[in-house]
Structure 1
Amino acid sequence: MNRGDIVNLFDVKNKVVIVTGAGRGIGRSIAKGFAKEGAKVVVCSRTKAELTVLKNEIKADGGICEVVTCDVGIRSDIERVIKTTVDTFGKLDVLINNAGMTKKVPAIDLTMEDFKQVIDVNLTGVFSFAQLAGRVMIKQGFGKIINISSIASVQGLKGSVAYAASKGGVKLITETLAIEWAEHGVQVNAIAPAYVETPLMEALKTSRVGFEEAVIQRTPMGRMAKPDEMIGACIFLASEASSYITGETIFLDGGWKAYGL
């Protein structure tokens, strides 16, 4: 295999990619990364203004982008995103299941309403999007789903019981769907970041004294991740380079998990 063949393995040009939670943070970076590599990107979140700014940036760089507002907790919104994507582009190659939220509250004080809200977005929303995208992909005979999980999928996270429970569920959804859909040509994988410098993380830094220093000290690479550092693993999992990988979670954590206790 020559160099050109290897480069082609990672090609995502003209692939149709849905990115949920694309208005900011990790989702925004992933959407721009795919568009830059020639993918046709459908971005969705609850806030149209953020998506419009993103679309304009992508188009200014010569990319292709469609905007669909969506609350992942509403099944009909998800159905509309899938339908709009297929009606516009004729297929669906990749789903980046990124939309998520958290409630940073001690377990003893967490209300059931807040617990349910986190589960509805992070777990039920992920499954609902995967299920509806999966139906299209199974009918096509191909497709890739990439769920955005977390280091909290395999380790407890103080003050985030609902978030940890939801991400643990995402890990098992990923593995179970991978098993069920492999025979249909649909691959389901996940990436699991640790701490990433997003707007949410900035809020945590300012609200909790010593938080950033503690994270950096605990991380072998000595820093938090940048949102753009999530792009490469997603491109890999969306491309032919990962043609024999399904049911896996790639940890993008700067060595956090390897560090142990």
Structure 2
Amino acid sequence: MSDQNVRLTISIDRLFGVYGKVVCISGSSRGLGKSLAGCFGQLGAKVVLSSHNAEELRQAEAELADKGADVAAIHANVRSHGDCKALVNGVIDHFGRIDVMICNAGIDIIRPAQTYDELEWDDIVDVNLRGYYYCAKFAAQAMLSQGGGSIIMTSSVASSLGIPGLAVYAASKGGINQLARTMAVEWATSGVRVNAIAPGYINNFMHGVHPDLDTPYQRRAMARTPMGRRGELSEYFGPYVFLASQAASFITGEILYVDGGYAAS
């Protein structure tokens, strides 16, 4: 390898590297969060898993540890202000700091807007919006005192598009976008960046979503996705790692759509 190529490799490692960063991910005992934890762990980050499901959390921690990741697990229900505070405090107690907070826990119930009951509304908003605020709030308190950090929120294409059957979910995700933008502006001069990633349809199904692909809802989703398919979990690694890395040091308050072209169609 030439000296020029060596210098380029070192530069790329500095730009996009997350080695040694402390990364906390809410909702990481399964699905996208668990996959992201595995990605960051393989790249040398120190990873903190979190979930309200204690059994799934233990299993996920064991799987990542078996693969050589430097991982810890903290049980937390993001519906609870106290749990979110304890989560961030636990990250700092274990690893000494928090560099990246990925607010990812989420639920959905697909049904006509006029049919949601009060408890369903409260549950979706409590997890998807209030929980994001709590986690970001406490992470930011630590990041502001340590001189910086990156907060990444998992939004959705439904945050800015009208998609039938997603009224409450869409409202919560639209709130996430505005939360990210406002926090980004408030903390920009203090080195704390806040961005959101808006997935389209992923080959993974969150709690409350039936995995049957042969339904009018699912067929419509694929018809509206220019790439004509769901995104694989691994196709989300790059965007999250990018926003966590030095390569995104001048990016804050942005909503990055990773959706196979859905939002552009």
TM-score (norm 1): 0.95
> In the TM superposition, what whole-angstrom CA distance separates every residue of 1:168-209 from its partner, at most 9, and x where no partner exists?
000000000000001111000010001111133895342862
2:146 is equivalent to residue 131 of structure 1: no
Distance (Å, rounded) in 2 between the aligned partners of 1:218 and 1:186: 35
Q: Secondary structure at the match of 1:3?
A: helix
Contact 2:107/2:206 (<8 A) preserved: no
- Offset at residue 72 of structure 1 (A): 0.3
2:108 is equivalent to residue 109 of structure 1: no
> In the TM superposition, what whole-angstrom CA distance separates every residue of 1:75-119 from its partner, at most 9, and x where no partner exists?
111111111110111100000000011121211111122111111
2:36 is equivalent to residue 30 of structure 1: yes
Among candidates 186, 192, 216, match of residue 186 of structure 1: 192
2:78 alignment counterpart? 72
Q: Which runs of 5+ in 1 are unaligned?
A: none
- State which drifts further: 213-222 or 22-31: 213-222
Compute the RMSD of aligned alpha carbons: 1.6
One-letter amino acid of the structure 2 residue matched with residue 87 of structure 1: D
Among candidates 89, 106, 118, match of residue 95 of structure 2: 89
Q: Within 5 A, what are the aligned runs for 1:228-239?
A: 228-239=234-245
1:47 alignment counterpart? 53
- Percent identity, aligned pairs only, is 38
Contact 2:18/2:43 (<8 A) preserved: yes
- State which drifts further: 226-235 or 31-40: 226-235
Contact 1:204/1:211 (<8 A) preserved: no
Contact 1:220/1:254 (<8 A) preserved: yes
Among candidates 135, 138, 147, match of residue 141 of structure 1: 147
Contact 2:91/2:97 (<8 A) preserved: yes
- State which drifts further: 84-93 or 5-14: 5-14
How many aligned residue pairs are there? 259
- Offset at residue 50 of structure 1 (A): 1.3
One-letter amino acid of the structure 1 residue matched with residue 125 of structure 2: I
Q: Secondary structure at the match of 1:206?
A: coil
Distance (Å, rounded) in 1 between the aligned partners of 2:101 and 2:133: 12
Distance (Å, rounded) in 2 between the aligned partners of 1:214 and 1:201: 20
Among candidates 161, 164, 167, match of residue 161 of structure 1: 167
Among candidates 246, 249, 263, match of residue 240 of structure 1: 246
TM-score (norm 2): 0.93
Q: Which runs of 5+ in 2 are unaligned?
A: 1-6
